[in-house]
Amino acid sequence: RKEEEDEGPIKKGISRPVEVVVRPNGLGLGFGNFKEQSQLKVNRQIEAEVRGLDLEEDNKPKEKERDILDGIDKSLLPTTDSLLAQGARSWRGGGKKGRKKKATKRKIVNYQEILDKTAEKEGGGGGGSAKKMKIIDMRSSAAASSSTAPTTATTTTAAGGEVPIGEELLHNVTLLLNTHESRLHTTSYMVKSSQQRAKNLEKDLEDMDRRKDGIEHRIAKMELALGIIEKAERLVETMEHMEKDRKTKRMDADKELLDFALDSLAGIFGTLYGNFTREERKSLKFDVTLLPSIVRPIFDRLTRTLKPLKMTDLASWMGRLAVGTSRLCDAAGSDDEAYALREIIFVENIAPWIQTSLGSSKWDVVADAETGLDIYETLLTCATASFPRAEEGENAILKECLAEEIVRNAVMPKLLRAASHWRPGLTKKNNPQQQQQPTLVDPLHRWILPWLPHLR
């Protein structure tokens, strides 16, 4: 022991550094083929040196040679055991240790050879009556060309007899069949979808054709309506020429001009109502747009130069107006349209004409009360007689509209102003010798009481 101490210091360190293994993040203990740091061979040798122990080398079992038929199932498919027993080339031999080994060259054996050897073993090896199995080689052409007997399978399968379909072929045929069946379903669905779309397009085309026909028909109707409006404009121009002749020749042609205008309007309305159905007239809103645009210019021309307060034959003129309006109402397609036409003529054209006269300063509500009352009552009589078969309710509505337009807007304001300025007074005697009682100046009963029935 002393001699050892004289020789030099005792070596108690390690001969090599400790190897370190980095564990992947999140990897659990014992997962997969990951080797821990303590399981490395180098680290175990260092530990044995420190402890003074001898590390026994791992005796790797030698791979014993296997028969060529070992691990081959009779169904021509490799089993799980045969795959696991292939050693370092299997999926269990991953990692650095498996990759460092030199890859062994794999010998390719034809399935027919395997079956032939199996048949020989089952037959006792004497070449007896064992029948050779016939298979179809499902490998690729490259693998077949590298085989020791590339023409064996082809020769055997072509020798005659029924060839059994292998599982690979059945799988492939099934896969192809399912693929083509799926394509067939897809194609069938696309065909049905295309047919449905074609039907929908045909239906849309028919709808568009119907809409096109409807639009063309509507355009033709609008062109006809435009022609009727132009005809009404020419009628107004003709009435202007007749008005000029009446002024130059001093002809009393007011009634003739009225009859001419109403007769022309009857012809225009006959054409209008004869070419448009009731639904078309309703959709085009005849009573709001077309009829007022035809009637208003004609009656404006008729009443432009006429003064109701100065017309001595106003009742006769109103009578002719009632007769002409009755013909126009008869030309209308229905009673509702006749009511609308009558309202257009009297409420929108005749009533404003009379309202303008009674609302002017030329009419004195106190001195000329009877004149204004006669004009208003003549208008009511004419309006009622313009449509003989009208209902009482419709006539009451028409009278209410005329009263609103004339009495409340023109007469009532004048009556209120006159009543506010009226003061009671007596008439003066021109001759003092006469025994005559004085009378009240402009008594209220003469110019207020006559309008009371119309003020309700």
Phi and psi of 413, rounded to 5°? -60, -40
Higher model confidence: residue 133 or residue 386?
A: 386
Q: Which residue has the tokens 């239906």?
A: 203
**pLDDT-based confidence at 148, cuts 50/70/90?**
very low
In the numeric block, the tokens 């002017």 are attached to 360
Write out pLDDT tens, residues 413-444: 999 999 898 888 777 655 555 556 777 778 88
The answer to whether 235 and 261 have CB atoms below 8 angstroms apart is yes
CB 374 within 8 A of CB 363: no
DSSP letter for 52, please: T
CB burial of residue 116 (10 Å; 0-12, 13-18, 19+): middle
When pLDDT is averaged across residues 171-196 and rounded to a whole number, the result is 91
Q: Using an 8 Å Cβ cutoff, are 288 and 244 in contact?
A: no
Are 305 and 246 contacting, i.e. CB atoms less than 8 angstroms apart? no
Average pLDDT over residues 24-31: 69
For 279-324, the pLDDT digits (tens) are 888 888 888 888 888 999 999 988 888 889 988 888 999 999 999 9
Please determine, for residue 375, whether its predicted confidence score (pLDDT) is greater than 80.
Answer: yes
Please report the pLDDT score of residue 136 as a whole number: 52
Task: Report d(CA 130, CA 107) in Å as an integer.
Answer: 27
DSSP H helical ranges for 75-166: 80-84, 96-100, 111-122, 141-145, 152-157
Helix, strand, or coil (residue 264): helix
List all residues 6 or more positions away from 245 whose beta carbon is below 8 Å from its beta carbon.
251, 253
State the pLDDT at residue 446.
86
Within 10 Å of residue 411's Cβ, how many Cβ atoms?
A: 23
Residue 78 β-bridge partners:
72
What is the value of pTM for the model shown?
0.55
Q: pLDDT tier at 149 (50, 70, 90 boundaries)?
A: very low
* Distance, CA of 218 to CA of 404 (rounded, Å): 39
Ranges of beta strands (E only) in 185-298 are none
pLDDT band, very low/low/confident/very high, at 153 (cuts 50, 70, 90): very low
Contact 414/355 with Cβ under 8 angstroms? no
CA–CA distance, 195 with 172 (Å, rounded to integer): 34
Where do the DSSP E strands lie in 299-446? none
Q: In terms of pLDDT, which residue wins out, 2 or 45?
A: 45
> Given this model, what pLDDT does residue 105 score?
67
Q: Tokens 């159905």 — which residue? A: 277
> Which secondary structure element, helix H or strand E, spans residue 397, and what is its range?
helix 392-402
Question: CA-to-CA distance for 231 and 334, rounded, in angstroms?
Answer: 24
Length, in residues, of the chain: 456
Q: Is the dihedral of CA 74, 80, 85, 91 positive or negative?
A: positive
- Nearest CA to 308 out of 244, 217, 374, 215 is that of 374
Distance CA 274, CA 332 (A): 9
**Lowest-pLDDT range of 169-183, 298-312, 354-368, 424-438:** 424-438
> For residues 168 and 142, is the Cβ–Cβ distance under 8 A?
no
**pLDDT value at position 78?**
54
Token digits of residue 62: 């030698």
The values of phi and psi at residue 372, to 5°, are -65, -40
How far is 213 from 215, CA to CA, in rounded Å? 5
Task: Output the average pLDDT for the chain.
Answer: 77
Percentage of the chain beyond pLDDT 90 is 28
